[in-house]
Structure 1
Amino acid sequence: MGPVSMERSGAGRAIWMALIVVAGAGLSLFYACATPFAALATLAALKTDRRDTALVVGLVWLANQVIGYGFLHYPHDLVSIVWGLAIGVAAGTALLAAIALAPRRPGPFGVSLPFVGAFTAYEFVLYLASFALPTEDGAFALSVVKQIFVVNAVVLVALVLLHWLATAVGLLTTHHPDDDQNHLGSALPAR
């Protein structure tokens, strides 16, 4: 049996989970309601243990809500609260899509397919919510959705690179030296 993965052990797992949550909180300050939950859900699905994925996404959502209401002065009304819940449901749905589409072995679509699925699921849930909740005209216009997609894609690439860097400097280690599903260049699940 090879070395225990720091990423899967207590310290490494906590470090990686904290990095995702802190990134989500920081992005919430900058992007507010457009926090790249699809990218964060994809990363959680691909790079955290299955038992941690919902916790990571839930903590990012909670941080987003605390920042929104505590620092960005979201309105304290029912519509705002329900939109916050809709964002939470959308983030959870994005996570489920990313998990469902996560590859079981290395391949050329290791990150892209789960990401596109997560993004589509996230936006679809929010679009459905817009039928019951007030939203701005053009909130789901192609130009807006395209811009949100680009933000999510850039964040995903940056966080995959951060994962690679954290592994390279020893904050996280691969599961097993012979495990080609979790080597430095892979964005496949850490199972």
Structure 2
Amino acid sequence: MTAVNLPSSLSRAAIGIVALAVASVLFTLGFACAVPLAAFAAIAAISFDRREALAAIGAVWLANQAWGFTVMHYPMDGETFAWGGALGIIAVLSCEAARAATRRFSGAVGACVSFLAAFVAYEGSLIVINLVTGQSGEDFAPVTVARIFLINACAFGGLWALKAVAANTASGRKLSGTLAPRHI
């Protein structure tokens, strides 16, 4: 039997980015346009260096948009395109907020703070857009925000667990070492 070469770090990053994009499509199947972008932004931030994290969240956003327009038949109008673009920017801002948190905190606390930072950036950006455009505030009722938070928190927890299992399986590292956010 021959040994299997582990992929280079670039290949592992590419596999991780594709895996997150595919996972986002799976979430889209269950939640329509409510893909948990804050959860994906936090996972990207704790899993990759800055460039790879931004590529990952961009791939998640792009996969979600492609699926929405081709399979779910999002309307082809200016408002839908504008919201799609805004969500892409918000996803990047959420990823950057999560990365800032990972530089200040480590371990499980760092991962959780990273997620909270991503969620605050995500919801805060949506609130700002809502205020600027003069739209109704009913989408930000506490019960709605709590529901979106719960979806994102569960998605983050699941993705974090999968990340730990994949890292443990792929490299033989101890599970406890894989749960710590990556510091760059």
**TM-score normalized with structure 1 length:** 0.83
- 2:3 — aligned with what? none
Structure 1 residue matching 2:32: 3-state secondary structure: helix
The aligned counterpart of 1:183 is 177
Secondary structure, counterpart of 1:130 in structure 2: helix
Q: Secondary structure of the equivalent of 1:110?
A: helix
- 2: CA distance between counterparts of 1:104 and 1:119? 17
Give 1:114 shift.
1.1
User: What are the within-5 Å matches in structure 2 for residues 52-63 of structure 1?
Assistant: 52-63=52-63
Relative to structure 1, is the Cα distance of residues 7 and 35 closer, same or farther in structure 2, using a 3 angstrom cutoff? Answer: farther
Aligned residues of 2:130 and 2:137 also touching (Cα < 8 A): no
Structure 2 counterpart SS, 1:131? helix
Which letter maps to 1:23? A
Query: 1:89, CA displacement in angstroms?
Result: 1.3
Alpha-carbon distance, 1:135 to partner: 5.3
Aligned 1:40-189 pairs, distance under 5 A: 40-103=40-103, 106-133=106-133, 138-170=138-170, 172=171, 183-184=177-178, 186-189=179-182
Higher helix share: 2
Residue 129 of structure 1 and its aligned partner are, at CA, apart by: 1.4
Q: How many residues align?
A: 178
Cα distance change, pair 93–63 in 1 and its aligned pair in 2 (3 A)? same
Range with greater deviation from structure 2 (136-145 or 32-41): 136-145
The CA RMSD measured in Å over matched residues stands at 2.3
Partner SS, residue 34 of structure 1: coil
Moved segments of 4+, more than 4 Å: 132-137
The answer on whether the counterparts of 1:74 and 1:80 sit within 8 Å (CA) in structure 2 is yes
Provide structure 1 residue ranges, at least 5 long, that are not aligned to the other structure: 1-5
Give the share of equivalent positions with the same residue, in percent.
33
Structure with larger RCO (C-alpha < 8 A, sep 6+): 1
Conservation of the 8 A alpha-carbon contact between 1:7 and 1:13 = no
CA contact (8 A) 2:47 2:182 kept: yes
Task: Compute the TM-score of the two structures, normalised by the length of structure 2.
Answer: 0.86
